[in-house]
Structure 1
Amino acid sequence: MNARLPRPAPKRRPKAAWRQAKGGAAFKAGHAAEWVAALWLMFKGYQVLGFRLKTRSGEIDLLARRGRILAVVEVKRRTSLNAALLALKPTQHDRLIAAGEAVRRNRPALQPLDLRIDMVALAPGRFPRHLRGVQRHGGG
């Protein structure tokens, strides 16, 4: 009788130190960009309700309210404002809508508000750019 022994699970190699440092730096830069965006929105009269809200549909960078608008805000930081403005892909836009609907559905006080997808684009040496009511573009 040939009994097969289970194969040992493959060993996972630890990330290279430089890759971990790069990932940590990107995480910190992204977090800093979200704070800059939040301050910019507060300066413009928005009430920031949450940072990095996780839902089954995806993560919301910022959730903000102004009047009857509930804004799901995606923060994009790139080397140029144009690159940041082009960074929101259609599939991500769809996920943001689904995530915003999930948050609104689970919080009764937010249910009467109108959901909108906004974006704050950031680039070195430039003022933040807030785009309200970002539409889905392209396919995929």
Structure 2
Amino acid sequence: MPPPPPPSPSRKRKGTHDRKAAEATGRRGERLAGWWLRLKGWSILDRRVRTPAGEVDLVARKGNLIAFVEVKTRATAAELDFAIDERRLARVAAAAEYLMSRYAGPGDDIRVDVILLAPGTRPRHIENAWIG
């Protein structure tokens, strides 16, 4: 049996376009989440930090608290309830393990937070979202 034909060029472009659009939406969401955190008194230490375990969208500090923040942006508020799951949180927590020594010092507390964003809604900040 011959192999299936390759995808048409229009399908390839659409997939690439969809990924680029999702990437742009994610970056906008991360900028908005950083702005929101700064308004709440946080300092943004880093963005999009990659580790062997995964990526952390934002690393933020407020006093002696370091938050490793996962940002999720969705098209509607209804989709936010399904934007984050235990598997994704576990990956962020594992990445945070790699990064703790870089950002946290003696006496600092550490947690994993989530910020959920959708048009027409205020950012939803879930503090200490991962307890592992």
Range of TM-score over shorter length? 0.7 to 0.9
In structure 2, C-alpha distance between the alignment counterparts of 1:85 and 1:116, rounded to whole Å: 21
TM-score norm. by structure 2 comes to 0.83
* Two-structure CA RMSD over aligned residues (Å): 2.1
Larger Rg: 1
**Which region of structure 1 is more displaced relative to structure 2, 45-54 or 77-86?**
77-86
Corresponding residue for residue 125 of structure 2: 130
Partner secondary structure for residue 15 of structure 2: helix
CA change 1:62–1:92 in 2 (3 A) is same
Q: 2:52 aligns with which of 34, 51, 56?
A: 56
TM-score (norm 1): 0.79
Give the number of aligned pairs. 124
Q: Call closer, same or farther: CA 1:87–1:60 in 2, change over 3 Å.
A: same
Q: 1:136 Cα shift? A: 5.4
| Runs of 5+ unmatched residues, structure 1 | 1-11
Does the 8 Å CA contact 1:60/1:99 hold for their aligned counterparts?
A: yes
Q: Secondary structure at the match of 2:45?
A: strand
Stretch of structure 1 that moved more, 29-38 or 13-22: 13-22
1:19 match: 15
Matches within 5 A, 1:1-140: 16-105=12-101, 107=102, 110-112=104-106, 113-135=108-130
Q: Would you identify which runs of 4 or more consecutive aligned residues in structure 1 move more than 6 Å?
A: 12-15
TM-superposed CA distance for 1:85, in Å, is 3.9
Please tell me whether the aligned partners of residues 71 and 116 of structure 1 are also in contact (alpha carbons under 8 angstroms).
yes
The answer for unaligned runs of 5 or more in structure 2 is: 1-5
Give, as a single letter, the amino acid of the residue that structure 2 aligns with 1:44: K
CA distance in 2, matches of 1:128, 1:26: 18
- SS in structure 1 of the partner of residue 71 of structure 2: strand
Shift in alpha-carbon separation, 1:49–1:92, aligned structure 2, 3 A: same
